[in-house]
Amino acid sequence: MKYLIAALALALGATAVHAQTIKIGLVTALSGQSARAGEAITRGLAVAIDEINARGGLLGRKLELVRRDDEATPAKGVIAARELLFKEKVAVLFGGLDTPVSLAIVPIVNQEKMIFVGPWAAGTPITKNGAKENYVFRVSAVDEIVNRAMLQYSQKTFNAKNCGMILVNNPWGESNEKGLTAALNAKGMKPAGIEKFEGNDVDVVPQLTRLKAAGADCLFLVGNVGPSAQVVKSLDRMGWKPPIVSHWGPAGGRFTELAGPSAPSVHFVQTYSFFGKQTPVGTKVLKALMAKYPDIKGPGDVTPAVGVANAYDAMMLTALAIQNAGSTDGPKVREGFYKIGRYEGLIKTYERPFTPEVHDAVNENDYVWTQFIDNQILPVGMKK
Q: List contacts with other proteins (CB under 8 A).
A: 30-33, 35-36, 169, 195-198, 200, 202-203, 205-207, 209-210, 213, 225-226, 229-230, 233, 236-239, 253-254, 257-261
CB of 257 to other proteins, least distance (A): 4
Residue 246 near residue 235 (C-beta atoms within 8 A): no
CB of 198 to other proteins, least distance (A): 8
Helix (H) or strand (E) holding 45: helix 35-54
CB of 289 to other proteins, least distance (A): 20
CA distances from residue 14 to 7, 9, 161 in whole angstroms, order as listed = 10, 9, 64
Instruction: Give 225 or 269: the residue with its C-beta nearer to other proteins.
Output: 225
Alpha carbon distance 93, 114 (integer Å) = 8
Angle between helices 35-54 and 305-325 (to 10 degrees): 40
Residue 26 near residue 119 (C-beta atoms within 8 A): no
Alpha carbon distance 266, 115 (integer Å) = 35
- Find the Cα–Cα–Cα–Cα dihedral 367, 371, 377, 381, rounded to 10°: -90
CB of 204 to other proteins, least distance (A): 9
CB of 99 to other proteins, least distance (A): 19
CA nearest 147: which of 75, 220, 239, 44?
A: 220
CA distances from residue 343 to 106, 237, 339 in whole angstroms, order as listed = 26, 48, 11
Instruction: Give 230 or 318: the residue with its C-beta nearer to other proteins.
Output: 230
CB of 37 to other proteins, least distance (A): 11
Q: Residue 270 CA to chain centroid, in angstroms? A: 10
Alpha carbon distance 50, 6 (integer Å) = 33
Helix (H) or strand (E) holding 352: none
Count of Cβ atoms closer than 10 Å to residue 126 Cβ: 26
Q: Is 327 helix (H, G, I), strand (E, B) or coil?
A: coil
Instruction: Give 225 or 325: the residue with its C-beta nearer to other proteins.
Output: 225
Alpha carbon distance 46, 240 (integer Å) = 43
Instruction: Give 228 or 273: the residue with its C-beta nearer to other proteins.
Output: 228
> 150 φ, ψ to 5°?
-65, -45
Instruction: Give 136 or 266: the residue with its C-beta nearer to other proteins.
Output: 266
- Find the Cα–Cα–Cα–Cα dihedral 265, 267, 270, 275, rounded to 10°: 60
CB of 207 to other proteins, least distance (A): 5
CB of 250 to other proteins, least distance (A): 13
CB of 246 to other proteins, least distance (A): 18
CB of 270 to other proteins, least distance (A): 20
DSSP-derived secondary structure for 124-185: HHHHS---SS--EEE-S--HHHHHHHHHHHHHHHH--SSEEEEEESSHHHHHHHHHHHHHHH
Instruction: Give 24 or 258: the residue with its C-beta nearer to other proteins.
Output: 258
